[in-house]
Amino acid sequence: MESTHITQDQADEYAIGSLDPEAEPIVLYHMGICSECRSRVQAAERVAAALALGLRGHKPPRGLKQRILVNVGIARPHPLMRAFRWSRAVAGIAAVFVAVAAFTGMLSVRGQIHSLRDQNAHLSTQVEDALSTRVELVAQAQRLTDEENASQELRQTAKAFQDLTLAFLSPESSVADVISKEEAAGAQGRLVWDPDQSKLWFVARGLTPRKVGETYQIWVNSGGKWYSLGTFNSDASGFARYDTVLPQGLKTYESAVVTIERAGGAPERSGPSLFVADLSAIRK
């Protein structure tokens, strides 16, 4: 093709756009080097353009001219369009501000969240410390309560011994010897009757502590019937001290015994007797 000129048919096909795509670059190349063929193709293009020229004119849409003139920069946009663009620009700027504000707010909130988390952790530590302190205080309060109870118990014991001492010293009180039975061999006991304090004491030593499920129970006989005065136990050293108020309503006391009964006391005496006391000499 480079060495041959473009035929009229090729020029026509090229001008009308129906030339084989493979032949098109060859035609273009030859047009670049051959002015005669270039003129032939251009003449064919003018004929082909007549096809378009033969079309009935079609009025373009309204606004196209304005759009084109604005596009090439030789006309101002229509006021409404300018207003629209301004509003769009303002909206865009506003959107940017909103986005920045939102981002800033997000950062601020994030910082506040971190701060609150730190505060929360600090408060949690303080709460834990407070709880530990509270536990210690409760423990100390419990210890104080225990000590107070122990002190109270000691005061009661001291009071009891003081009362017992007063009972021994009182001229109105009576002391009954207690006879140990075989089950309480080696043990010694006394029964103190004090009308001034309206109380009686039973004191013993060498008395074996009862095993679990058993207790000592003291009884008094009046008119041939036994009345329980209560239960007690001895300590590890074998010492026992029991006091109770004088039984009301009983006119006479013949004797008293200490028996071994089940824990909590028995309604009727059933266990073996350890001590026996004669109460006939006691003044009523």
Partner 1 sequence: MAWRSNPDSPAFRTITGQVELVLPVGGTYEDRAAWTDEALMAAIVAQDPFAFAALYDRYADLVYATTLRVLADAQLAEDATQDVFVRLWRRPHTFIAERGRFISWLMSVSRNRAVDELRSRGRRRRREGPGLEAPDEQASLLIPDEREDPQHSVEVREEQVLVRRALRDLPAEQRLALEMAYFGGLTQLEISVTLCEPLGTIKTRVRLGMQKLRRALEDQR
Taking the C-alpha atoms of residue 270 and residue 282, their distance in angstroms, rounded to an integer, is: 26
| Rounded-to-integer distance, Cα 279 and Cα 284, Å | 10
Could you say whether residue 116 binds partner 1 (CB under 8 A)?
no
Verify binding: residue 44, partner 1, rule CB under 8 A: yes
Residue 54 or 249: the one with the smaller Cβ distance to partner 1 is: 54
Q: Does 48 bind partner 1 (CB under 8 A)?
A: yes
Mark the segment that binds partner 1 (CB under 8 A) among 37-45, 128-136, 186-194, 219-227: 37-45
Interacting positions 184-203 with partner 1 (CB under 8 A): none
Query: Is residue 33 at the binding interface for partner 1, with CB under 8 A as the rule?
Result: no
Is position 267 an interface residue for partner 1 (rule: CB under 8 A)? no
Angle ∠(194,200,201) on CA atoms, nearest 5: 115
| 58 touching partner 1, by CB under 8 A | yes
List Cβ neighbours of 236 (8 Å cut-off, separation of 6 or more): 209
Applying CB under 8 A, among 18, 198, 248, 280 the residue interacting with partner 1 is: 18
Contacts for 260 with CB less than 8 Å, ≥ 6 apart: 183, 210, 214, 215, 216, 217, 271, 272, 274
Among 1, 5, 9, 142, binds partner 1 (CB under 8 A): 9
Kindly state the helix (H) or strand (E) to which residue 260 belongs, with its residue range. Answer: strand 255-262
Cβ(156)–Cβ(243) under 8 Å? no
Considering the complex, what minimum distance in angstroms separates the CB of residue 61 from partner 1?
Answer: 6
User: Dihedrals φ, ψ of 35, to 5°?
Assistant: -65, -30
> 64-83 mask for partner 1 (x: CB under 8 A)?
xxxxxx-xxxxxx-x-----
Q: Which is nearer to partner 1, 8 or 140 (CB)?
A: 8
Which listed range, 40-48, 152-160, 167-175, 184-192, lies at the site for partner 1 (CB under 8 A)?
Answer: 40-48
Rounded to an integer, what is the distance from CA 193 to the centroid of its chain? Answer: 62
Binding site for partner 1 (CB under 8 A): 9, 12-13, 15-21, 42-61, 63-69, 71-76, 78
